[in-house]
Chain A
Amino acid sequence: MKQRFKVALAQISCLRGDKKANIQKIEDFTERAKKQGAELVIFPELSLTGYVVRDELYELAEKTTGPSTKAIEKLARKHEIHIVFGMPELSEKAQATIYNTAVLIGPKGLIGKYRKMYLPTHSVFEEKRYFRPGYKAEAFETELGKLGLIICYDIFFPEVSRLTRLEGAQLIICISASPAVRRTFFETLTVARAIENTSFLAYVNLVGIEDGLQFWGGSRLIGPNGKTIAAAKYDEEDLVVGEVDYADIGPVEAFVPTLRDLRPELFDKLKEKAENL
């Protein structure tokens, strides 16, 4: 397993509903990331289709054995790179049951997927109308260490990131489609999740305008001490590369030993209280 590697944050805008065009863009950004020495390139939430596709989701959703994932697997093989992207995933066992999924692909093919657990359905968001929530936090063993995957609104619930960390993830990847008014929330929470877990956190947000919603970009790689290692521009497409060095975790974990100090008995209480809110 590699201790040090470069991560590319591919902050793209999408052509809504046009998977072919979006895969082409994913290819272009992957090539650019590879040229800059990245071994992992991350794309935003629902980057295969765009975010505001509403009822078109039923036509756009695919299984992770489908042609779009296959096309991106081919890309990963060709460029010998790891890719994380977002897609509406059709259930293997049903015909119109869809998940909001982050897919992790390595140079040898599909490694794993995470189905978003917290689906925002308030304000401008209507995800529960379309998606079934996932039931499991996910972290996957790769040549780049264990990678945890979370999606956008999940970041408001520290337990999702925490679970990936307790699974052993040292890099938590958060793909996102966050519109502009929520910028300060994410700027705060990305740092908080990195610090409280003493882990790296890569946040990749969408840009562009979809039905009047302006996605703010601002993707960033944050170190376990909460410092920003690389940051993309606001509001425009961008590709930035930052280095993850797992050796940086040890000193922070000793300095602010949040994992050592975890109190499991509180979690039972949390469960009990949350059930009776």
Chain B
Amino acid sequence: MKLTQSVLDLNWEEVKTKITRFIRDYVEKSRAKGIVLGLSGGVDSSTAAALSAMAIGGNKVLGLLLPEKETYNPRDMGHAELVAKKFGIKTEKIDITPALEALEKTIPVFDSEDKLCKGNLKARTRMLYLYYYANKLNLIVCGSSDKSETMIGYFTKWGDVAADISPLMDLYKTQVRKLAEYLGVPDEIVKKPPSPMLWPGQTAEEEIGLKYETLDLILYGLEHFMKTEEIANQLGLQKDLVEKVKKRWQTMEHKRRMPLTTKIQYRTVGFDFRLPHTQP
């Protein structure tokens, strides 16, 4: 297999149809009234919002804008509002700074210098808001995690990944960008550097240490059972770098699954209870 950008090309109309059908079907079967999702102004959440609106109608989709003072960026908020307007989605804007400050004060071991722990607190606090709305208004939480970030575990456990459905999770980041373009997500959103917004100035590619164009091809190779050596050769990369990505993919499985228990009884959650994910 030749690892070039073209292997990531999909029929975007078909992808759009599949995802909107999936969202509509899930919302109908769960008898929810609609969808709530976080809108950050980034490409993933904008794409998830666009698809949700196309699936069930923008009037049944609520986008929550959840800024906080450290990472507040008027340009991103503007992008979130732009997307909401374009796809006819209702929005609500809530400044989560007071909630974060209250939490920080009540955590005896809180360390304001530890930006990762602090950042994760932000992602998990946003999750609380989304689930409160879902709970109260009988809505489904739609996540916007993509395949690249999910595979390498670049997300906050129980934070941004927490959702009832994740319709973009089988699309690599560069594919989400192409789909976003196809759906008419404004160019300035598609082209800006992605960031999880956990601390000021954070950009995903800098933190991961790879451009998504490269990361996605490595992951695509791993998905297709290719050996790391072959991937490195084809992409002109150091084998160590590809190994590192592979290791990251493998060691992050704990972030993608139900918590592990030890088997004691006849049938066990997470081991051998195998029930359909959804009921008809």
What residues make up the interface of A, taking CB atoms closer than 8 Å to B? 15-18, 50, 52-56, 126, 129, 180, 208-212, 214, 235
Q: Is the CB of A211 within 8 A of B280?
A: no
Beyond A180-B18, A235-B21, whether A212 also contacts B273 by CB under 8 A is no
Q: Is the CB of B22 within 8 A of A209?
A: yes
Q: Count the B residues whose beta carbon is within 8 Å of the partner chain — how many?
A: 14
Bound form: Cα–Cα A212–B26 in Å = 9
B261 proximity list for chain A (CB < 8 A) = none
Q: How far is the CB of A64 from chain B (nearest CB, A)?
A: 24
Q: Is the CB of A50 within 8 A of B280?
A: yes
Beyond A214-B21, A235-B21, whether A55 also contacts B274 by CB under 8 A is yes
Beyond A209-B21, A214-B22, whether A16 also contacts B279 by CB under 8 A is yes
Beyond A180-B18, A214-B18, whether A54 also contacts B276 by CB under 8 A is yes
A15 proximity list for chain B (CB < 8 A) = 280
Beyond A50-B280, A209-B25, A211-B278, whether A55 also contacts B273 by CB under 8 A is yes
Interchain Cβ contacts under 8 Å between A and B, 20 examples:
A16-B276, A17-B276, A17-B279, A17-B280, A53-B276, A54-B274, A54-B276, A56-B276, A126-B274, A129-B274, A180-B18, A209-B21, A209-B22, A209-B25, A211-B276, A212-B22, A212-B277, A214-B21, A235-B17, A235-B21
Bound form: Cα–Cα A210–B26 in Å = 10
**A17, A212, A214: residue with the most chain B Cβ atoms closer than 10 Å:** A212
A56-B276, A214-B18 given. 13 additional CB < 8 A pairs?
A: A16-B276, A50-B280, A54-B274, A55-B273, A56-B275, A209-B22, A209-B25, A209-B26, A212-B22, A214-B21, A214-B22, A235-B17, A235-B21
What residues make up the interface of B, taking CB atoms closer than 8 Å to A? 17-18, 21-22, 25-26, 273-280
Q: Is the CB of B276 within 8 A of A210?
A: yes
**Top 5 A-B residue pairs of the complex, sorted by shortest distance between their CB atoms:** A54-B274, A16-B280, A211-B277, A15-B280, A209-B25
Bound form: Cα–Cα A55–B280 in Å = 15
Please name the residue on chain B nearest to A51 by beta carbon.
Answer: B276
A55 proximity list for chain B (CB < 8 A) = 273-275
Bound form: Cα–Cα A17–B25 in Å = 17
Q: How far is the CB of B80 from chain A (nearest CB, A)?
A: 27
**B21, B273, B274: residue with the most chain A Cβ atoms closer than 10 Å:** B274
A212 proximity list for chain B (CB < 8 A) = 22, 277
